[in-house]
Amino acid sequence: MEELKTRLISDDGIRCDGRRLDEIRPIKFQIGVLNNTDGSAYVEWGRTKILVGVMGPRESHPKHLALSDKARVEAYYRMASFSVEEWKSPAPSRREVELSKVIREALEPAIFVELFPRTSIDIFIEVLQADGSTRCASISAASLALVDAGIPMRDLVASIAVGKVEGKLVLDVQDKEDKAGDSDMPMAYMPSKNAVTLLQMDGQITHDEFIQSMELLKKGCLEVYKKQKEAIEAHFKGAISNVEEA
């Protein structure tokens, strides 16, 4: 008697939400959505919804934490209680603290921190709805919020994940695939520098699959990068377009 199991990928390589294996979810970035921050961005990444606000560079508080040679970058990743299917405790979890650190480390190489010694740059990330790849969406949206805050950067940071589901590599992992899959590998990338700022992996993959994953990740990051640039274009074009004389 064979066990009945829901499959996540059909025989002709279509995933449970209708995507091909190397297809990303629909991504919509919006810049400058908040009034009381220096820079902000909102992203809808499939069903994942994240709001990012950036404050700074501003005087570092408490003062003893200020660094004398560069700005202190701090990320605060937080999931709303209603962001997941089961209610999440509002207390900061181990996972949130870890993701805050990882996101900060993925963004800091892109920022010219040495230009603002003794100041701090705070990145507040609020996950409103989570459906996988929240760290990737957070990093991608946060780099747009940093741009909106007018913080000098080397490049935008684009991020995406590759997973292994039912023996196949899939780009842009959603929650269902993440939970059922064998591995998850997020990457953050600065395309014009060809520099990786974050690479994590859990689960098990072979060396060949790793090489393939890297190719897939690069391709995905470039697609995200394109969306980011489009969002910047859309937001700032309005400010500089020539007004027709009445």
Partner 1 sequence: MTTFFEARQLVSPGTLLAEGNYQAGFNVYRENGKYYASMVGLADVRNNMISVIPLRGCYIPQPGDIVIGKVVECISTAWMLDIRSPYQGVLFASEFLSKPLNPLKEEARRYLDVGEMVIATVIAFDRTRNPSLTARDHGLGKVHRGTVIDVDFTRVPRIIGKKGSMITMLKKETGAQILVGQNGRVWISGKSRDEEAIIAEAIRKIEAEAHTTGLTDRIREFLVNSRR
Q: Which residues bind partner 1 (CB under 8 A)?
A: 38-39, 56-59, 68, 110, 112, 115-119, 147-156, 190-193, 229, 232-233, 236-237, 239-243, 245
Which of residues 84 and 153 has its CB atom nearest to partner 1 in the complex?
153
- Tell me how far, at minimum, the Cβ of 235 lies from partner 1, in Å: 9
- Tell me how far, at minimum, the Cβ of 92 lies from partner 1, in Å: 27
Which of residues 6 and 68 has its CB atom nearest to partner 1 in the complex?
68
- Tell me how far, at minimum, the Cβ of 82 lies from partner 1, in Å: 32
Work out the angle between the directed axes of helices 94-107 and 134-148 (0-180°, nearest 10).
50
Containing 79, the helix (H) or strand (E) segment is: strand 72-79
Which of residues 114 and 202 has its CB atom nearest to partner 1 in the complex?
114
- Tell me how far, at minimum, the Cβ of 188 lies from partner 1, in Å: 14
Per DSSP, the residues of 118-179 read: TEEEEEEEEEEE--S-HHHHHHHHHHHHHHHTT--BSS--EEEEEEEETTEEEES--HHHHH
- Tell me how far, at minimum, the Cβ of 186 lies from partner 1, in Å: 20
Containing 229, the helix (H) or strand (E) segment is: helix 207-240
Which of residues 38 and 131 has its CB atom nearest to partner 1 in the complex?
38
Q: Which two tokens stand for residue 153?
A: 């950067």
- Tell me how far, at minimum, the Cβ of 161 lies from partner 1, in Å: 22
Which of residues 71 and 169 has its CB atom nearest to partner 1 in the complex?
71
Which of residues 32 and 126 has its CB atom nearest to partner 1 in the complex?
32
Phi-psi region of 203 (alpha: psi -120 to 50; beta: other; left: phi over 0): left
CA distance 122 to 120: 6
Cis-peptide, bond into residue 62, ω within 30° of zero: yes
- The residues, ordered by sequence, that sit 6+ positions from 181 with a Cβ below 8 Å of its Cβ are 8, 163, 164, 165, 166, 170, 173, 203
